[in-house]
Amino acid sequence: MATIAFGADHAGYELKQHLIARLEAAGHTIIDHGTNSTDSVDYPAFCAAAARSVRDGDAEFGIVLGGSGQGEQLAANKVRGARAALCNCLYTARMAREHNDANVLSIGARLVGIGLAEEIVDVFLSTPFEGGRHARRVAQLTELEEQF
Asked if 8 and 66 touch (Cβ cutoff 8 Å), the reply is: yes
Report phi then psi at 25, rounded to 5: -60, -30
Asked if 93 and 120 touch (Cβ cutoff 8 Å), the reply is: yes
The Cα 113–Cα 115 span in angstroms is: 6
Report phi then psi at 87, rounded to 5: -130, 105
> Which residue of the set 99, 134, 145, 146 is catalytic?
99
Whether 33 sits among the annotated catalytic residues: the reply is no
> Which residue of the set 28, 33, 72, 98 is catalytic?
72
Whether 24 sits among the annotated catalytic residues: the reply is no
Nearest-5° angle of CA 1, CA 74, CA 130? 45
Report phi then psi at 29, rounded to 5: -95, 135
Q: Which residues are catalytic?
A: 72, 99
